Chains A and B, each alone.
Chain A
Amino acid sequence: MGFSTDAIHAGQSPDPTTGAVMTPIYMTTTYAQPELGLNKGYEYGRTNNLTREALENNIAVLEKGKYGIAFSSGVAAVHSLMGLLKPGDHVIASKHIYGGTYKVFENFISNYGIEFSWVDMSSIENIEPVIKTSTKLVFMETPSNPLLKLTDLKAGAEICNKHDLISVADNTFMTPYFQRPIELGVDIVIHSSTKYLNGHSDVIGGIVVTNNEEYHQRLRFMQKSLGAVPSPFDCWLTLRSTKTLAVRMEKHNQNSIAVAKYLKDKNYIKKIYYPGLLEHPQHELAKRQMSGFGGIVTVDFGDINIAKKLFKNTKIFELAESLGGVESLLNHSATMTHASVPEKERLEMGITDSLVRISVGIEDVEDLISDIENAIK
């Protein structure tokens, strides 16, 4: 089936008891058991919920995976990866990872005897030199947040296969509509479904997808035991959102290309990051592993005063955390998403004080461009 067809139908057959075409919100927290030791595969809402199952199956199909495991947030999904590790294990993670993921790894999971190495994965050959006998898992995020550095997923997955490592890719920015890591050989895909998958800035959620039965079992156990499960209502809202994922992503992509093209030669821009621009150093890789370039455009004004002008004067763009919603947002990475990264490291990464991440929404693009223009004027 095509992507849009799957987005609308996968995981959602009409309710067997009523014929309801749309999945009900299954609210029960507990299930009556006909006799001792016998149940219908459903015991308790944390372990099983039919609305959640529908969402998990839907996104699994979109990611070309067999199993989806949903969580109450993206970082809860990241946390579940701990279920694949044990003390003494070593993890290689991208240096340009989302700040929240960095915090889970560095400030929490590292306390359990798990060691992390941070490498710049925009050059995939940086991975192999740090592999050691205890290495267990490689965590990639592409494009990265907020600098949109790409990691070659196919090459990364090949390295992991060669060394018998678990490969994980955070696909939050691209969504399966533009990039399907499992098709490129990656073992596990992870999402903050709060972003494009839900897309309307009204649900916090995360999901992990895999084809591997063993990883699935362990992650499922983490879902049940850590208990960071999404509510049936949030699952239902997200399931409603994935139906329009294709049309939303198309429009995010179109608008972002237009915004990036408009901004790239302006004299108030010092640097622009967008994988869809020919000037992006990894544009060829972008074309190879992605079928679109996504909805995030990052710009460095070189002067914090211009950034401040933008934050203060826009009428449509709001200054706010998060991204991937239908509405356009601005983010100041240095003080918001990456505030927890020490200044020296942050500046080395390229996250300057004058850097602004733009989450381009699906409004009329002429309005977005004139809003930026008027704000900076």
Chain B
Amino acid sequence: MSKEKKGKVNEEKYSMDTQIIYGKDVSSKWDYSHHVTAPISSSTTFRLDSVDRGALGFMQFAHTDDQDDQTPILIYDRLGEPNKDMLEENLAHVEKGEMAVTFASGMSAISGVLGVLTQTGDQIITHTTLYGCTISLFKNWYPRYNIEVKTIDLTVAANIENVANENTRVIYFETPANPNMDIIDLAALRKIVDELNESREEAQKIQIVVDNTFATPFCQRPIELGSDFTVHSLTKGIAGFGTDMGGVVIGRNEYRDALLLYRKDFGGVLNPKSAWAILTYGLPSLGLRQKQQIASAMRIAKFLEENPKVEKVSYPGLESFKYYELAKKQMSDFHGNFAPGSLLFFTLKGSTPSDCKEKGRKFMDFAADNAYTLTLAVSLGHTRTLIEHPASMTHSVIPPDDLADHGIDAGGIRLAIGLENVEDILKDLSDSLDVV
């Protein structure tokens, strides 16, 4: 927004529903002044005016402390450009973090924050159930750098005490977890990590990193609940329309420079056109979309739970859900209402595990061919309801025999609710279940 506005607005006195539309009232990131909607930056390089100013720009890059919230001297898109800068400011604000650094994709953000926090010899503790590509990152790449990734059941926070050692640097997890919706108690974890950190030097302290993609900041702000960093695949609920890829790391100011350097040198930068779309369409409509999707997810979860062909439904909003009470404590919208999210995971009944899987396949194939509102596709947080089979798609990196160890039912079905009229989704689900 305009720097030329006379008064300085105190954003905090407005509700977050309003703040996600406006972000910071006065941004030093781009004085595009009287334009009501931000322009799309489309320059890879920026005029530096003089050698001295150029030198100052390079000196100031990744030196947050020296900048004092002045307008940055822009040099080159990979280092920073106004659309990303504005989006970062708003994402940090909505996630209650001090700063945000965007990346080209969710995986780029995850590998970015872990790249900054760990080095050879360090240990990362993670949860048994994780997004398939994150598992792949840990399994296929980290052994090369001799970074140990210890997988444990984090739904029991005390388990950390059994595996944490002097090399532990990061506790990394998703809550809800992809795809089985496991919920991890952030407050309990924070307490244990604080105890472990008590005797540690600053650089040796264990950092809690939470992937908040499933919940989105509308349903949950992990930093408020005790995480040090929040990461997102912006591609999902935040961008919201299935048109743009992106990722973000949100956390304390002291890590901003390292993240900027990492992004500059590894090059996983978010393109400005996507940053603009997320800034202009994605984030401002997040609340409206989430409200609709949560209401639909609740109806659908109940419908599935009552359907005789369904074995089990995992949705944080269901009282029957294993972590219901914890979900109620952790997942709430900007006004404190329970906000159990837009994803659910369910399994069909069968005589044997392979029968369950076969029935699930039949159900999804029928939906793929016949349903108007169910699209068989990976990704989530879309305007369209997406259905997928984690064991053969998003989590195919896990060998079939190991699926159970990762808390994933071989026949499990992940449903990411879109913005359709819920009656239509229910109709398509019902028709597809009828053929099983």
A21: B residues at CB distance < 8 A: 43-47
A39 with B34: in contact, given A18-B82, A19-B48, A27-B276 (CB under 8 Å)?
yes
**Residue from A19, A21, A25, A27 having most chain B Cβ neighbours under 10 A:** A19
A298 to B294 alpha-carbon distance, docked (Å): 62
A31: B residues at CB distance < 8 A: 34-36
Quick check: B34 and A33 within 8 Å, CB to CB? yes
Minimal Cβ-Cβ distance residue in B for A23: B42
Interface size on A, residues (CB 8 A): 25
Quick check: B276 and A32 within 8 Å, CB to CB? no
Query: Is A267 interfacial (CB 8 A cutoff)?
Result: no
A14 with B39: in contact, given A19-B74, A39-B34 (CB under 8 Å)?
no
Quick check: B40 and A27 within 8 Å, CB to CB? yes
Quick check: A18 and B45 within 8 Å, CB to CB? no
A28 with B35: in contact, given A14-B46, A19-B74, A23-B42 (CB under 8 Å)?
yes
Query: Is A133 interfacial (CB 8 A cutoff)?
Result: no
Quick check: B37 and A29 within 8 Å, CB to CB? yes
Give the A-B contact count at a CB cut-off of 8 A.
81
Quick check: A20 and B74 within 8 Å, CB to CB? yes
Quick check: B43 and A42 within 8 Å, CB to CB? no
Residues facing B in A35-69 (CB within 8 A) are 39-40, 42, 50
Query: Is A178 interfacial (CB 8 A cutoff)?
Result: no
A42 with B44: in contact, given A24-B39, A26-B39 (CB under 8 Å)?
no
A18 with B30: in contact, given A23-B42, A24-B43, A25-B42 (CB under 8 Å)?
yes
A34: B residues at CB distance < 8 A: 4, 34
Query: Is A116 interfacial (CB 8 A cutoff)?
Result: no
Query: Is B52 interfacial (CB 8 A cutoff)?
Result: no
A14 to B46 alpha-carbon distance, docked (Å): 8
B47 to chain A, nearest CB (A): 4
A233 to chain B, nearest CB (A): 8
Query: Is A22 interfacial (CB 8 A cutoff)?
Result: yes
Quick check: A27 and B39 within 8 Å, CB to CB? yes
B44: A residues at CB distance < 8 A: 21-22
A42 to B39 alpha-carbon distance, docked (Å): 14
A23 to B1 alpha-carbon distance, docked (Å): 19
Quick check: A40 and B40 within 8 Å, CB to CB? no
A19: B residues at CB distance < 8 A: 46-49, 74
A25 to chain B, nearest CB (A): 4
B33: A residues at CB distance < 8 A: 17, 40
Query: Is B41 interfacial (CB 8 A cutoff)?
Result: yes
Query: Is A236 interfacial (CB 8 A cutoff)?
Result: yes
Quick check: B34 and A24 within 8 Å, CB to CB? no
Residues facing B in A207-265 (CB within 8 A) are 236
Query: Is A15 interfacial (CB 8 A cutoff)?
Result: yes
B19: A residues at CB distance < 8 A: none
B27 to chain A, nearest CB (A): 12
A27 with B38: in contact, given A15-B43, A20-B46, A22-B43 (CB under 8 Å)?
yes
Of the residues B37, B41, B42, contact of A28 by C-beta under 8 Å: B37
A98 to B36 alpha-carbon distance, docked (Å): 41
A24 to B74 alpha-carbon distance, docked (Å): 14
B49 to chain A, nearest CB (A): 7
Query: Is B257 interfacial (CB 8 A cutoff)?
Result: no
Query: Is B31 interfacial (CB 8 A cutoff)?
Result: yes
B31: A residues at CB distance < 8 A: 17
Quick check: B38 and A14 within 8 Å, CB to CB? no
Query: Is B111 interfacial (CB 8 A cutoff)?
Result: no
A40 with B46: in contact, given A18-B74, A26-B39, A32-B2 (CB under 8 Å)?
no
Query: Is B266 interfacial (CB 8 A cutoff)?
Result: no
Query: Is A30 interfacial (CB 8 A cutoff)?
Result: yes
A40 to B34 alpha-carbon distance, docked (Å): 8
B45 to chain A, nearest CB (A): 5
B283 to chain A, nearest CB (A): 16
A34 to B5 alpha-carbon distance, docked (Å): 7
A23 to B272 alpha-carbon distance, docked (Å): 13
Quick check: A18 and B41 within 8 Å, CB to CB? yes
A29 to B33 alpha-carbon distance, docked (Å): 14
A297 to B41 alpha-carbon distance, docked (Å): 40
A20: B residues at CB distance < 8 A: 41-43, 46-47, 74, 81
A30 with B40: in contact, given A18-B82, A20-B46 (CB under 8 Å)?
no
A25: B residues at CB distance < 8 A: 39-40, 42
Minimal Cβ-Cβ distance residue in B for A15: B43
B302 to chain A, nearest CB (A): 42
17 more A-B contacts (CB under 8 A) besides A17-B32, A27-B280?
A14-B43, A18-B30, A18-B81, A18-B82, A19-B47, A20-B74, A22-B42, A24-B40, A26-B35, A29-B36, A29-B37, A31-B35, A31-B36, A32-B1, A39-B34, A40-B33, A50-B39
Q: Would you list the 8 A-B pairs with minimal beta carbon distance, nearest first?
A: A20-B43, A22-B43, A25-B40, A19-B47, A28-B37, A24-B39, A28-B35, A19-B46
Interface residues of B (CB under 8 A from A): 1-2, 4, 30-49, 74, 81-82, 276, 280
Interface residues of A (CB under 8 A from B): 14-15, 17-34, 39-40, 42, 50, 236
